[in-house]
Amino acid sequence: MWIFDRLTIRIFTIFLFTVALFLMLAMLVPNFDSRNLTYLANKEEEIGNKLAKQIEKDIVNIPKNSFRWWMRFIVVMDTYQKPGQFLFIITPNDQIITADSSNIDIVKNFNEKSHDVDDPAKKIYDSQEIIGPFLIHYNNERYQLYILQPASDIQSQFVNFIFDHPFLLLSLTMLASSPFLLWLSWSIAKPARRLKHVADQVAKGNLQEWSDLEKMGSSEYKATGASFNHMLRELKRMQELQKQLLSDISHELRTPLTRLQLATSLLRRKQGESKEVERINSEALKLDSMIGDLLSLARKQYENNEIRELKQIGVLFKPVLDNAIFEAEQIGKKFSINHPLTNTTILCYPVALCSALENVIRNAFRYSDSEVEINFVVEQQHILITIDDDGPGVPSNELEQIFRPFYRTSEARDRESGGTGLGLAIVFNSITRDMGTVKAEKSHLGGLRIVIVLPIHH
């Protein structure tokens, strides 16, 4: 029914069902205890009355005041009792006549519960059952006959234990309702897990719509799925608009920039070199580089055409380090690798990750005085990569800011070196796409240390 499609109704219904089930069991189950006092069947009552008449017929001639008259009662009862059966007669003054004194307590207990000869009953004590009372007339007085015999319906000890321990009965009740509670938990958790999976995919940049979110779970989850898909459509639309905007900006900026560079070349040909022409040309080149870096950052943020792959660190970064060693020799700087690369495996976008590491190493070459050091440390769950240089470094209060696009330090290192302020922003984007982290610290060499942490794939 449509009403049970609502999560609130489901929870409330299962709660009421569980409470009702417990109350029903608490009230009805004790009635099924075979040890309870029950009324006799007609056949059992006929047998008991017949036995009472037989005994009554034989004891009618026993004088009441004779010597040990009750012993003669026992002799008569022994005549009629069957194997395993014991007979008890209770006199009007509550004296019990029997040859089985070991079970007198059972008879006394039962007599307190059942003493109406017009309505005899039955009760089980362990493996024995007692029935009665049956009427015997003797000396114008009413005597009661009780019969103790092996129980015809012995209840198992486990069932007896359950009936004797209410908390165990409560536990069994909860166990009986567990399938319904598990179904409720499953109906709540399954769409929640699916929603979490979709959210993880969105966090990785996958903005496709998930139609199953609008068909799974209760109406609340379906409405949430519809809202989630609407949000994805809006995000994708905004992403397309931003990509289009960046493309338009690139086109609009590159056109006058090309004209400016052409005019600079014509001016240099007519008037020759001058400080003004050189300055115009330098700023035009910076602007061209900045536009290129900006578009590169935008493509990495909004386009995800590369496929994540499992790569061994030693194989992945070897070309990058070989190029760094060659470049260090050309510029006369020392480049050292403290720990050899391992066969540790990571899940990454290989091209983007190698480009990020190469960017960091080249930045270190650019700002270092004479030495750059790279170190690989494999931990239990992560691999730690540190790149140190002995350059001027970055002030401590700006270490967290240098990964922001276009951020320039107070020393304006990028301006002096011709940087655009986008290199580390591209590095940050590439590392975080691989579920890693990157941060800047003070280096033991005196300059800047870049710390990259990547998760190991097991």
- pLDDT tens string 28-73: 655 555 556 677 778 888 888 988 898 888 888 787 777 778 788 8
Residue 447 and residue 314 share a domain: yes
- Where does the pLDDT of residue 293 fall: very low under 50, low under 70, confident under 90, or very high at 90 and above? low
Average pLDDT on 403-409 reads 70
Residue 451 and residue 321 share a domain: yes
Contact by Cβ (8 Å): 396, 403? no
Looking at residue 306, its pLDDT comes to 65
Please check whether residue 182 lies inside any domain of the structure.
Answer: no
Please check whether residue 370 lies inside any domain of the structure.
Answer: yes
Looking at residue 34, its pLDDT comes to 53
Please check whether residue 26 lies inside any domain of the structure.
Answer: no
Contact by Cβ (8 Å): 324, 335? yes
Contact by Cβ (8 Å): 117, 134? yes
Average pLDDT for the chain: 79
Residue 270 and residue 379 share a domain: no
Residue 313 and residue 298 share a domain: no
Tell whether the model's pLDDT for residue 301 goes beyond 70: no
- Where does the pLDDT of residue 415 fall: very low under 50, low under 70, confident under 90, or very high at 90 and above? very low
Please check whether residue 192 lies inside any domain of the structure.
Answer: no
Question: Hey, which of 8-12, 27-31, 168-172 has the most confident mean pLDDT?
Answer: 8-12
CATH number at residue 325: 3.30.565.10
Residue 343 and residue 226 share a domain: no
Residue 138 or 38, more confident? 138
Looking at residue 323, its pLDDT comes to 92
Tell whether the model's pLDDT for residue 298 goes beyond 70: no
Domain boundary among 251, 286, 302: 302
Q: What's the domain range around 42?
A: 34-154
Residue 332 and residue 256 share a domain: no
Kindly report which listed range (68-82, 135-149, 404-418) carries the lowest average pLDDT score.
404-418
Domain boundary among 286, 302, 318: 302
Looking at residue 161, its pLDDT comes to 57
What's the number of domains the chain is made of?
A: 3
The answer to whether the pTM exceeds 0.85 is no
Residue 269 and residue 334 share a domain: no
Q: Which residues of 204-238 are buried (b: 16+ CB within 10 A; e: fewer)?
A: eeebeebeebbebbbeebbebbeebbeebeeeeee
Tell whether the model's pLDDT for residue 410 goes beyond 60: no
Kindly provide the residue ranges of all beta strands, DSSP E only, lying in 24-127, ordered along the sequence.
38-39, 86-90, 96-97, 121-125
Given the residues 115, 137, 230, 251, select the one marked as catalytic.
251
Token pair for 91: 């006199």
What is the DSSP code (8-state) at residue 86? E
Please check whether residue 159 lies inside any domain of the structure.
Answer: no
Domain boundary among 258, 273, 302: 302
Residue 432 and residue 328 share a domain: yes
339 part of the active site: no
Residue 269 and residue 231 share a domain: yes
CATH number at residue 50: 3.30.450.210
- Where does the pLDDT of residue 299 fall: very low under 50, low under 70, confident under 90, or very high at 90 and above? low
Looking at residue 453, its pLDDT comes to 93
Average pLDDT on 224-235 reads 86
Number of residues that this document lists for the chain: 458
